[in-house]
Amino acid sequence: MKNINDAPFLKELKDTTANMYRLGYDERNGGNISRMLDEDEVAEYLDLNNVIRTIPTGFSAPELAGRIFIVTGTGKYFKNVKDDPETNLGIIRITPDGCTAELLWGFKDGGRFTSELPAHLMSHIARLSVDPSNRIIMHCHPDYTLAMTRVHEMDERAVTRTLWKMMTESIVVFPEGVGILPWMVCGTNAIGEATAEKMKKYRIVLWTLHGIYGCGKDMDEAFGLIETVEKAAKQYILTAGLPQVNTITDENLRDLAARFELDYRRDFLDL
Handedness of CA 186, 190, 193, 194 (dihedral sign): negative
Q: Is residue 128 part of a domain?
A: no
Give yes or no: residues 197 and 250 share one domain: yes
Give yes or no: residues 242 and 216 share one domain: yes
Give yes or no: residues 111 and 179 share one domain: no
Asked if 180 and 208 touch (Cβ cutoff 8 Å), the reply is: yes
What is the Cα–Cα distance from 18 to 134, expressed in whole angstroms? Answer: 22
pLDDT value at residue 170: 98
What's the domain count of the chain? 2
Q: Is residue 24 part of a domain?
A: yes
Burial category of 205 from C-beta neighbours within 10 Å (exposed 0-12, middle 13-18, buried 19 and up):
buried
Give me the mean pLDDT over the 135-144 stretch: 97
Give yes or no: residues 175 and 250 share one domain: yes
What pairing do the DSSP bridges indicate for beta strands 68-72 and 89-94? antiparallel
Q: Is residue 250 part of a domain?
A: yes
pLDDT value at residue 123: 96
Q: What is the pLDDT of residues 161-210, one digit of tens each?
A: 999 999 999 999 999 999 999 999 988 889 999 999 999 999 999 999 99
Give yes or no: residues 100 and 216 share one domain: no
Residue 19 has pLDDT above 90, yes or no: yes
Domain boundary among 83, 115, 147: 115
pLDDT value at residue 254: 97
Give yes or no: residues 12 and 142 share one domain: no
pLDDT value at residue 255: 97
What angle do the packed helices 219-239 and 156-166 form, to 10 degrees? 90
pLDDT value at residue 98: 92
Q: Is residue 108 part of a domain?
A: yes
Give me the mean pLDDT over the 98-107 stretch: 96
pTM score, whole prediction: 0.94
pLDDT value at residue 207: 97
Give yes or no: residues 138 and 87 share one domain: no
Residue 59 has pLDDT above 90, yes or no: no
pLDDT value at residue 126: 97
Q: Is residue 120 part of a domain?
A: no
Q: Is residue 123 part of a domain?
A: no
What is the Cα–Cα distance from 111 to 103, expressed in whole angstroms? Answer: 11
State the pLDDT confidence band at 250, using cuts at 50, 70 and 90: very high
Give yes or no: residues 251 and 149 share one domain: yes
Q: What rounded mean pLDDT belongs to the chain?
A: 96
Give yes or no: residues 9 and 102 share one domain: yes
Give yes or no: residues 147 and 111 share one domain: no
Domain boundary among 82, 115, 148: 115
Asked if 216 and 203 touch (Cβ cutoff 8 Å), the reply is: yes
pLDDT value at residue 240: 93
Residue 69 has pLDDT above 90, yes or no: yes
Give me the mean pLDDT over the 88-102 stretch: 96
Q: Is residue 152 part of a domain?
A: yes
pLDDT value at residue 18: 96
By residue range, what is the domain housing residue 198?
133-271
Give yes or no: residues 86 and 155 share one domain: no
What is the Cα–Cα distance from 117 to 137, expressed in whole angstroms? Answer: 10
pLDDT value at residue 245: 95
CATH number at residue 104: 3.40.225.10
pLDDT value at residue 119: 92
Residue 54 has pLDDT above 90, yes or no: yes
Q: Is residue 14 part of a domain?
A: yes
Q: Which residues form the catalytic set?
A: 116
Domain boundary among 71, 86, 115: 115
State the pLDDT confidence band at 58, using cuts at 50, 70 and 90: confident
State the pLDDT confidence band at 1, using cuts at 50, 70 and 90: confident
pLDDT value at residue 36: 98
Give yes or no: residues 269 and 187 share one domain: yes
pLDDT value at residue 259: 97
